Amino acid sequence: TVSMAIGQGHVSATPLEMVRYYAGVANNGTLLRPQLVDSTRLIDEVSYQMEPDIMGTFDIPQEILDALHQGMCAVTTQPDGTAEFVFRRSPELQAIGVCGKTGTAQAQSPESGNPHAWFAAYAPRENPQIAIITMVENGGQGSEVAAPIARDILEYYFFGEIFTH
């Protein structure tokens, strides 16, 4: 039970399942249908515009969601946060607030190599617009491998360029 509670052992989830969960946390418990396209256009005419589609809600008290928000935001901002060293070099993202969770998942067997590196995040801290998961199979530590990828994607998403290397 303890191993399951911290995501170790036989816990199995896809990146899509995880990003839905983290988007739900970002949205204070509202689960939205994943959508890959914001809009489609033919020259200047919009033929499809994505509208949020609520699929359900978490049955989690608000004080628990608040604690999750606080903990996830500390991951990227507090000196003891597991991804603080990754985001400290991005004052642009620090200004809007990125909340995240690093993860290092065991490989199926010792012969399969390094653990899988994960990083889940949402931003901005207030009124989130995006939830993201980066996962590198057999990549190593989530904070060292997956978090920098997410940082670069978020910099490009919000600012149109990557500031850090």
Q: Which residue has the higher pLDDT, 14 or 127?
A: 127
User: Can you say how many angstroms the Cα of residue 9 is from the centroid of all Cα atoms in its chain?
Assistant: 21
* C-alpha to C-alpha distance for 49 and 9, rounded to whole angstroms: 41
Amino acid at 107: A
For the stretch 29-50, pLDDT in tens is 999 998 888 889 888 888 888 8
CA distance 28 to 50: 21
10 Å CB burial of residue 63 (0-12, 13-18, 19+) is exposed
DSSP 8-state assignment for residue 52: -
CA–CA distance, 70 with 64 (Å, rounded to integer): 10
- Spatial distance between the Cα atoms of 32 and 101, rounded to a whole number of angstroms: 20
pTM of the entire predicted model: 0.86
Using the structure block, give the residue that is written with the tokens 């991951």: 75
pLDDT digits (tens, 9 = 90+) for 96-136: 999 999 998 877 766 778 888 999 999 999 999 999 999 99
Q: Which residues pair with 135 in a beta bridge?
A: 118
Q: Could you give phi then psi for residue 38, rounded to 5 degrees? A: -80, -45
Confidence band for 155, pLDDT divided at 50, 70 and 90: very high
User: Using an 8 Å Cβ cutoff, are 117 and 104 in contact?
Assistant: yes
